[in-house]
């Protein structure tokens, strides 16, 4: 695990993640920080705790809206679905021979 120091709404946090997850973690931190700054900037809420709760609710609502409404993938988030497709693609690359494009001659 790698230690990552971040700042959210002016407060510093030390987080741990694997090196392969660091970029995604930093993107998530930036997203949360921007959302919280926007809520704070609206001037309607001043408590950091309430700002965090409002940001969490907004982000959760967006996540839930991105889920497929019906069918077998109804409980799968778009990011999870994308990762599953990428995993399947890598597995297919391992087991299927590379197709050679026909020559034009």
pTM of the entire predicted model: 0.64
User: 51: which DSSP letter?
Assistant: H
Helices (H), 7-103: 22-41, 48-65, 78-95
Sorted by where each begins, the domain ranges of the chain are: 2-95
User: 20: which DSSP letter?
Assistant: G
| Local confidence pLDDT in tens for the 105 residues of the chain | 999 999 999 999 999 999 999 999 999 999 999 999 999 999 888 899 999 999 999 998 887 776 656 666 666 666 777 777 788 877 877 776 655 455 555
d(CA 50, CA 30): 19
């Amino acid at each position: 695990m790698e230690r990552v120091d971040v700042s959210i709404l002016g407060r510093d946090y030390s987080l741990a993640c694997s090196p392969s997850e660091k970029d995604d973690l930093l993107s998530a931190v930036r997203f949360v920080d921007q959302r919280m700054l926007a809520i704070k900037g609206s001037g309607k809420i001043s408590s950091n705790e309430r700002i965090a709760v409002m940001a969490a609710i907004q982000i959760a609502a967006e996540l839930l809206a991105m889920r497929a409404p019906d069918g077998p993938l109804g409980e799968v988030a778009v990011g999870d679905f994308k990762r599953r497709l990428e995993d399947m693609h890598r597995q297919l690359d391992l087991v299927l021979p590379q197709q050679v494009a026909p020559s034009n001659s």
